[in-house]
Copies of this chain bind each other. A is one copy, B any other.
Amino acid sequence: MGLLVVGSLALDTVQCPAGERAEMLGGSAVYFSAAASYFAPVRLVGVVGEDFPWGDVEFLKARGVDVEGLETAAGKTFRWSGRYEESGDRETLLTELNVFETFRPKIPPSYRDSQMVFLANIDPALQLDVLRQVEGTRLAACDTMNFWIDSKRGQVFDVLARVQIGFLNDGEARSIVGEGNLPSAIEKIHAAGPEVVVVKKGEHGALMSDGGNLFAVPAFPVRTVVDCTGAGDSFAGGMLGYLSSRAEWTGRTFREALIYGTVMASFAVEDFGIERFTALTREEIQSRVTALVGMISLGPGSPTTAA
């Protein structure tokens, strides 16, 4: 059945306290695919320019990512550059959309039976276009960013009305509904559509709401943070990849999926770009999952009854 992602492929240049890298393979669809590939077959839709170093996607192909939907357009590949401070704050230095500016996602017929689709952070008009092309999916999820919330608010809400899972970061969750209180903001986002709202809080972990219950996961404690680019997309990839691998989706499945997403984000930040994923084993993933579950477990004993 498969997990479809539509998003960006980019050549990223980053300046981090730990060092610098120029024109690495990046973009939301790349991080998502790399993380999700540990759990489920992934199908990628995106665009690159004539200058794209195709050798860079061999890793994704080797991990079973289907790139039939990756088109080459006349012009240069999307480029992004940013600088990270010691504090973790990020400053964007350059955004060159290039071929991404006129991208119109085309879902190959072989992808149309995808059971799940992730609409990474692209123009909400394109996200809506994708949703029209994959009407048979069991579950659709979207990400967005303040740029679209500010410039195409109506269409962002049109997308939210059509997906089952909405991913937002802390600030976006507040700004999209103009509500400073996070629990209240989550309630208003539910009212806009998604049954499940996932709020990404970076080093402070993530919060998931299914409308009736909240579930909180701390960030996995990483000793050396090298490059935070793509952490959110790796998180979504781990979460949706895990969901895609499960036959039955219960409340517990979703909570487990949040754990897996958190763990995949923790690997993403440990090296530049997707480098950490090129040397990642299922045993390492499982070991962090176990440790993270331990970080939220009260431990042996009867339910808390004091007070």
Contact = CB atoms under 8 A, between A and B. Distances in A.
Interface of A: 38-39, 86-87, 180-184, 201, 203-205, 207, 213-216, 218, 221-225, 242, 245-246, 250-252, 255-256, 259-260, 282, 285-286, 289-290, 293-301, 303-304, 306-307
Contact of A296 (B215, B222, B225, B260): B215
A38 B306 CA distance: 11
Contacts of A205: 204, 216, 218
Given A250-B301, A299-B251, A242 B180 contact: no
B218 A216 contact: yes
Contacts of A213: 294-295
Contacts of A246: 306
* Residue with the highest number of chain B CB atoms closer than 10 Å, among A181, A221, A259: A221
A225 B306 contact: no
B216 A299 contact: no
A256 B205 CA distance: 20
A215 B295 contact: yes
Given A223-B183, A224-B181, A307-B260, A298 B242 contact: no
A222 B298 CA distance: 22
B260 A222 contact: no
B306 A298 contact: no
11 contacts: A183-B223, A184-B223, A204-B204, A204-B205, A214-B218, A214-B295, A215-B296, A216-B296, A242-B306, A256-B306, A296-B297
A182 B295 CA distance: 15
A223 to B, nearest CB: 6
A252 B301 contact: yes
Nearest to A255: B298
Nearest to A263: B307
